[in-house]
Structure 1
Amino acid sequence: MTETNDLHRLKTLAKRYARANRIPQHQALDLIAGKLGFPNWVKLISATKNGWEIDAEKIKGVEAFSRGALPAVTFLKGDPEAMNRRFEYLEQAEHGTIGGHAYRLQEVMGDVIIAGEGWSIRVPENPSAIPVVETYTNPELNCPVLEPEFLQRALRLATDRAGLVRAEISTDWPRRSTKPDLNGVVRHPLGRGESDVWFCLHCDGKITGRQIAETLWHCPGCGASPLDIFETAFWCEDEGKSFLPVKIGTVGQDKPEVQIVDGRPKLDLDEEKITLLMRSALLDDATNVSEKLGALLAEISVDDENDVFIALEVDLWPEDKEPVQALAVSKLLGLETDFVSSWSTIPFAWPGLGEMTLSTSEYTQMMLDAYAQYGGLPDRNAKKE
């Protein structure tokens, strides 16, 4: 394999796939490496250096894979290994149609998902949790999952499959994990002992053995997984004596049969995002290295009403320079922004050197020469205390 042929082709396919599915390119590279039998892209590159070559049929398989799309926004989370497992699930999914609308039905890490164009339904492994319906299209468009008849048919398919998945889980566990004895004692499926009372690390709930067996070891109060269920409340000083009992069926109680949420990406402007955009705009305004440093060191604060206050170091940012791009971003976001000059300790001497160039490397050389002229360079060979 050469960089100019097959390897270059794989990189191009990964780049297109990353853009189409809005995931990081390194993750797309790892996914493609997984399709070729490698745990990640680094291992694939290492193999090519040792003479490994890819045949034409495998290239075709990768091309077919790269044309696919992730099934839902919820599939975008996780490391490359988990992503590859999910794609294996996708390949094993059942396909069909409801009222002319295509769907795929699959099990992912204990949950059952049925999904189509612009929608998905997730039925959690937890029997007491309600299914979640996500839509990804404009509400004004005709999304089939919003039609009651379609929703019920799709939900029935998913819940029937979820019943089979839960049955398989119960079969893999010890019988005493799902069937309490006469005293309500059950055995933890992860080998954490036997008891008639259990405690939830997530919500500090006290759960009876019968309750936890009915919910496949998910907390009936908050829905926490078996990983959060313990025989003793070791994290509490009184060992859980102050914990309140969890009521049966509190998860999903008084809620609709399904929860419909809008899965489209939404812009939530918080202080971190506003600061990031404003600093980027200041960098757009910078015309030399000094001003770039001024943009990077600017103190940006955002109040509770999203009004912005920006303090610019006077030795790095001229007092009479108007931050045009920053003001434009502020206007687009509907923010009130105030700019002031400040005086503080700057990182390098002779800030005027930065006004002579836009190149950071050129500025660095000028700065080093100036420090050297005055004997101000540190001894790089000297050991630090």
Structure 2
Amino acid sequence: MPIELTEDESSMLAATDRFIEREMKPVIGNYVREHQFPTPVVEAFAKAGFMGVAYDPAFDGGGLGARGAALLAARLAETEPGFAAIFLCNSAPMTVLARFGSDRIKQEWLAPLCRGETLASFGVTEPHGGSDVAQIKTRAREDGNDFVLDGSKVFSTNAGTPPHGVTTVVAVTDPDKGPKGLSTFAVPVGTPGFSIGKPGRKIGWRIAPSCELFFDGCRIPKTAMIGNRGDGLKQILTTLAIGRVLVAATALGLTRKATRLAVGYGSGRKLFGHNILQNQGLSFPLADILTKCYAAELMIQDAAQLVDQERPFKSQTSMVKLFATEMAVEAATLAIQVHGGYGVFEEYDVSGLLGEAKVLTLVEGTSEIQRLVIARDLVEF
């Protein structure tokens, strides 16, 4: 590890390692094979306080910021990337609440999330919107002291799971104001008019279900609004930019796992009279991956520090997300190649890593979106 950890970070990672050994490793493979949400493992993880590691201790968080959360995500992904996905997808709505919510709404939702009493999902992407989040169509219509929501969302990870208690939803409150007419709301599970579709089976994030959300005359009080009316787009873009640090950290953990599996298998495999890792066709690409891991870890910690210090971070988080997720795809592909024919059989852990890595290049903005964000800064370079 090329960075120096604080005492609190070291303690958190030690606790994470104990949790992984006792709670995750014995059972997580069964959930992955069945594409099932690991309810008891997630509940134990949440109740141990890990979900709140980044947030203000005043709301029962751990106070370790984006850097602490990135360290945690990477460590989880070294064992199971899908579990890290559950953590990072819960972190997105928590970040909205933490950065933009009033103290009242933080006490109502952020504190219980930090304590692990419930789980959250993020309702942003819509069926016809994709990466163009400014084109959100879900409507929040004022009616007395309430707003009435109508519309739908897709790809809401953690929605519909047993611990799921709330979703943060971005909707149009002022249609005549364009992108400045979006606002964000906390909508509790069970609110009349709010329903959740069934999850589909994915090539990655197999234990982190992603569902559609439906709002049909869903009535919520005006006090459910998070932050200021009209700030929805700013909140989305800020939250996605911060979330890219955790996606990159998950990619780093996945890359470490892929490399470990490749070296473990390759070191015991002989062909044509010698170990296959003596072949530069395999050892040199692995050396490149190790080099990229080193760079990615430094980039992640730098970007996380920018977030924690409230310095400009948008381009940097896009850079690290782009670099780390494409590195993960490269590492997963190489690890399968090292395994040869065995690499495509589900009995081998390496077989699922390519799908897990590919998902990371799509969430929180595709690789193309990251390049677009970065390219906008060329003038200032």
TM-score (norm 2): 0.24
Structure number with bigger Rg: 1
Larger RCO (CA under 8 A, 6+ residues apart): 2
Higher helix share: 2
Q: TM-score, normalised by structure 1?
A: 0.24
